[in-house]
Amino acid sequence: MTTRLPRFALYRSHPELILNLGSCLAVLAIVAIVSYLLARERDNVELSAIRSSNNIVQLIESDILRNVELYDQSLQGLIWAVGRKELPEIPGPVRQRLLFNEAFVDRKRGEVLWLDKQGNVVGDSTSSVPRKANFSDTGIFQAHLHNANLGLLVGPPFKAGLGDLGWCISFSRRISGANGEFTGLAAGALRLSYFSELFQRLDIGEDSSINLLNTDGQLLARQPSRAQDPRIGSNYAERPNFKRILSEQSGSFTARSSRNGKPRMYTFARVAQLPLIVLVVHSAEDVFESWRRTATLVSVATGVLCVGILWLTLLLGRELRRRHEAEQGLATLAATDSLTGLANRRHLDQVLRQEWARAQRNRKPLAVLMVDVDHFKAFNQRHGHAGGDHALREVAKTIEACIRRPADLAARYGGEEFQVVLPETDLAGAQLLAERIRTSVEALAPFADDAHSVTVSIGIGLSGTQHDLARVLGAADEALYRAKAKGRNRVEGPAD
């Protein structure tokens, strides 16, 4: 049968351990909760930054699509006007307005040209008298010349040779004759500075940027534009981050910049089916700066709280340990005979009941020795109470020294009587131990000049022949009286 611990027995026996364990679990719980909340807040900051960047990307994308649509309408209007048979007969000013609709062409954005099949400028949105130039050797002209199915073609960035447009990108459509032959080109140039001015109106942080690139990896526009930043026309085609952007078309991710190695948050989208990509790049340090300040403050506060909890736990644990030690000391004092240092009568009675119950449960023998100091009253009269007390202490030390097993118990029964409880001990074992005690006491040095050495008589009680504890104790007491009657300084077992 398994003996169950009483309720709260673990706490009663190890209060400091339970307190420390509970404190550590509380600290771990606090750290886990704070870490989870900080991680969730970081995710929220990241999602907010992505959402804001997506809004910027969509705004720029819409503006680019609107400009492309205006240019395409202008080019298609030019192609329609060129195809009119009556065009040569129309007066110059009217002819200019027919070719280049001012509703579609804004000179702040760029210009539109009409090129003949030799690449010469025959129509100019900036003047009724076309400027002299030839574009037959350009890649855009050659592409339309050899392919009638290109539709609207967006060209790479170039430095305008006419006027003061600076860096531009081109939009062009082929002009075909009645039989599909190449008759010229309708081409528009959009100033890239227009996008720079658009980007300047958006505040995204000091170490962040808004970029416009084509699908070939060429940089078309960038804001803010600093001296150390890449220039217009720089190529990013071989950069790992650009390859990812090109493959995913739209989305957001965080990666290290291939230029300076710092973590960046990239949000991007391709502009419809056009070969243009809008890219917003945020510095991860800027995005999470406020979160880091909050996380630092919360972490410090949490650390102070946890240290305070552990410190208070240590103080309380120390007090509990002192209290436990004091209680243990009191319990030991309450169970110890003050004169001999052996167990007292109260402790003896508790152990006897426990060992008797265990012996009955396990069907094992229990032996009890009744030990009485011979002629103690006469000894006490000869040497006084101090001498008697000294003799009792020496006998107690001798009995305790003879006991070898931890489960055995020696106790002062009262006056000059002692009792030894021997669990799981048969008659032969009890007699052997009793004889060892008798001879050891007899071997003690005589007190002062006393001619008589101190001796003991011992009676043995055994549970094998008795049915209750009282009878075992009675049998031991009877055996002791027989030992005294037979001359003392001897051991007597239970009566047959």
Is the distance from CB of 398 to CB of 342 less than 8 angstroms?
no
Inter-axis angle of helices 289-335 and 345-362, to 10 degrees?
100
Q: Which CATH superfamily is domain 336-492 in?
A: Reverse transcriptase/Diguanylate cyclase domain (3.30.70.270)
134 strand-pairing partners: 120
Q: Which residue has the higher pLDDT, 24 or 200?
A: 24
The most confident of the ranges 152-156, 175-179, 396-400 is 396-400
Q: Catalytic annotation on 197?
A: no
What is the residue extent of each domain of the chain?
195-287, 336-492
Q: Which residue has the higher pLDDT, 322 or 439?
A: 439
Of residues 281, 278, 305, the one with CA closest to residue 64: 278
CATH architecture for residues 195-287: 2-Layer Sandwich (3.30)
Neighbouring C-beta atoms of residue 395, cutoff 10 Å: 25
483 strand-pairing partners: none
Tokens of 175: 């002009």
Strands 491-492 and 456-462: parallel
Mean pLDDT of 146-164: 83
Question: How do residues 325-370 score in pLDDT, each as one tens digit?
Answer: 777 777 777 778 888 889 888 899 999 999 999 998 888 999 999 9
Portion of the chain with pLDDT greater than 90, in percent: 36
Of residues 247, 223, 254, 137, the one with CA closest to residue 185: 137
pTM of the model: 0.59
| pLDDT at residue 36, rounded to an integer | 95
Give the span between the Cα atoms of 441 and 89, in whole angstroms: 150
| pLDDT at residue 4, rounded to an integer | 42
Measured in Å, how far apart are the chain's first and last C-alpha atoms? 34
| pLDDT at residue 466, rounded to an integer | 63
Within 13 Å and on the Cβ side, how many CA atoms surround 27?
A: 18
Tokens of 32: 């886990």
Q: Kindly list the distances between the CA atom of residue 450 and the CA atoms of 213, 379, 393, 439, 484, in Å, as whole numbers in the listed order.
A: 118, 9, 17, 19, 21
Does residue 5 carry a pLDDT above 50? no
Residues in the chain: 496
Give the span between the Cα atoms of 496 and 484, in whole angstroms: 18
- The active-site residue, picked from 416, 442, 478, 492, is 416
How much is the mean pLDDT over the chain? Answer: 86
Question: How do residues 201-243 score in pLDDT, each as one tens digit?
Answer: 887 777 788 888 988 888 888 888 776 677 888 888 889 999 9
Is the distance from CB of 63 to CB of 55 less than 8 angstroms?
no
Q: In what order do the strands lie in the sheet with 409-414?
A: 409-414, 417-423, 366-373, 456-462, 491-492
Is the distance from CB of 458 to CB of 371 less than 8 angstroms?
yes
